[in-house]
Amino acid sequence: MPLHRRSIMTTNRRRFIGGGLGAVALAGSRSTLWAQSREPIKVGAFGPMSGNAAAQGQSIRESVEMVANLKNSAGGVLGRQIEIVIGDDAGKPEEAAVVARRFATRDQVSLAIGSVSSPASLAAAQVFREEELPQIVVSGTAQRITTQGNEWVFRSAVPDRKLVADMVEFINEKMPKLRRFGFVYVNDDFGKGGFDAFLEAAEERYSRGDLDFIGQLTRIRSTNPDAIVEWSRYTEGALIHRQIKQMGWELPRFGSDGIAAPAFLDLAKEAANGVIYPTHFSPATSANLPAAQAFIALVRKTYNKPPDYVHAQAFDAINIALAAIERAKSDDRTAVRNAMRQTDYQSVRGPFKFDQKGDPTLVTHMVRIVDVKETDARN
């Protein structure tokens, strides 16, 4: 009996101790969960914060930080603050891949917004696909970003084919006599995407970072085109239009959305006058969009300057991302990805939904430069 009683007492004591440890473990786990629920929701934003396209990277940063600050001052999302994690890809695909991996692993962001260039956006998208992290591409327009079966990538920018199709439609409507085109473009996914979507044209390519385009322009001029299209980013685009001016070559000129930045006008100056290009957003073309007018006023109040198209793309991207987190009632990556597919948003560029590929259903804006200022080319 004494032995039996000791066995019972020992067993009961073990049960008590085990129960106590379980209770402590449960309490600790609840404390951890509570602490995690109070932690900020992390959103990554990346682009060329340095390099030739740094102005566009800065626009991404300004928009996402502006929206996050407004949300946080109003209580955040799901009762939690928003933390923006910034990454600099310098406009380079290899750097974008490094930033993407860091976002997915070390920084543990719930969603990523970026980048500007198509090559950098594509490189990051491959990593995000592996890591199962949703991405909203801000400005990359290459068609293949959303045509490779990647279920984790969405896009704020109108893709190349839509931009070019809208520009061709504009030319046919406003300048139907133009038939022969010269086409000069940067030899990467962005430039080739624009050229491949265009009409048959006399073709000249250049490498990113080139400074002298006289050779390409002279060869195009020898084909006697009715007009010239250059599919470049703003740095090279400004140089091309200045060199066309220096050559004394007078003809209709069209550009890509990559030159739709204030820096293009700063660099090209009077040589920009007369250039027509499709863009994702311009204050000059947004008078009939109430959301755009409120956005323009907000950027002017916050940064004392008008927004550019990258501001608009990033502004829409961060608002769509935060709305998806709210709909998902979670910052779980898969839940956020699924919620983004249900986007139905009145953006600063018009009614916004994602199609089956993850591209936006938006109308392209057409701009003409007059007196070194953007005007509505459709008017």
CA-to-CA distance for 369 and 379, rounded, in angstroms? 13
pLDDT at 190: 76
Determine whether 149 is exposed, middle or buried from the number of CB atoms within 10 Å of its CB (0-12, 13-18, 19+). Answer: exposed
CB 49, CB 96: distance < 8 Å: no
Spatial contact of 184 and 197, defined as CB atoms under 8 Å apart: no
pTM for the model: 0.78
DSSP classification of residue 179: -
Q: How distant is the alpha carbon of residue 172 from its chain centre?
A: 29
pLDDT at 76: 97
Strand 111-113 with 135-137, pairing: parallel
**pLDDT digit string (tens) for the chain, length 379 residues:** 333 333 333 333 333 334 443 433 334 444 444 444 689 999 999 999 999 889 899 999 999 999 999 999 999 999 999 999 999 999 999 999 999 999 999 999 999 999 999 999 999 999 999 999 999 999 998 889 999 999 999 999 999 888 888 998 999 999 999 989 999 988 877 778 788 777 655 678 878 888 999 999 999 999 999 999 998 888 999 999 999 999 999 999 999 988 988 889 999 999 999 999 999 999 999 999 999 999 999 999 999 999 999 999 999 999 999 999 999 999 999 999 999 999 999 999 999 999 999 999 998 999 999 999 999 999 8
**pLDDT value at residue 13:** 38
Shortest CA distance to 167 belongs to which of 145, 199, 205? Answer: 199
User: What is the distance of C-alpha 285 from the center of its chain?
Assistant: 20
